[in-house]
Homo-oligomer: A and B are copies of this chain.
């Protein structure tokens, strides 16, 4: 086993440390964030930190670096108040990865990567039509993380569009069935295979498989 303490981590070469620490949280969600500026410039960024914040009301969040390729995303969300979250799937993960390149603000990642912007139901931010599960959100809250000046952006779900056939009778969505991918580190893509769905855990009761 290899053991690193805090000081050893701080002393690592920058790129090594970035890869190492980015591997520690476990598997990551992989999503595209679609936005537009007030003047109509479209932006699409890849984000691996989208998390569930709450179900009632329905809230989702993601972490944004203080100065990074995602600054267009941040400015657009602040200007318009809206953004979309779009699940990356096996067919488009390479195009999605390319969205991390540092394009100038007036260049649209949609055009550069060949992904398609789609406006649905008058929602003010663009969806990605190649994505099977797409969510339209309204900015609800922003939290500045003091320790490293990253920002937690929280949105309230306004529109949810997904294939009828992957919604289970109890609301569970079979995201693997439509090829949703997972990530690790900054650059590695995975296809998750289902092991089991398990029953609600209670003290002194055996866990059962849900089929």
> Which of A20-28, A33-41, A74-82 is found at the contact surface with chain B?
A20-28
**Could you tell me if A53 and B15 are in contact, using CB atoms closer than 8 angstroms?**
no
Cβ–Cβ < 8 Å partners of A106 in chain B: none
Known A57-B148, A170-B16; contact A9-B112, beta-carbon cutoff 8 A: no
Report the separation of the CA atoms of residues A121 and B4 in the bound assembly, to the nearest whole angstrom.
11
* Chain B residues whose C-beta falls within 8 Å of the C-beta of A160 in the assembled complex: 3-5, 9, 20, 24
A94 and B3 in contact, given A16-B170, A53-B148 (Cβ under 8 angstroms): no
User: B171 near A27 (CB under 8 angstroms)?
Assistant: no
Is A116 positioned at the interface, with any CB of B under 8 Å from its CB?
no
How far is the CB of A165 from the nearest CB of chain B, in Å?
9
**CB contact between A147 and one of B4, B57, B199 (< 8 Å): that residue:** B57
Q: Does A105 contact B (CB under 8 A)?
A: no
A56 to B48 CA separation, bound complex (whole angstroms): 18
From B3, B148, B198, contact of A97 by CB (8 A): B198
Q: Which are the 7 A-B pairs with shortest beta-carbon distances?
A: A26-B29, A19-B171, A190-B192, A23-B173, A16-B171, A27-B182, A20-B171
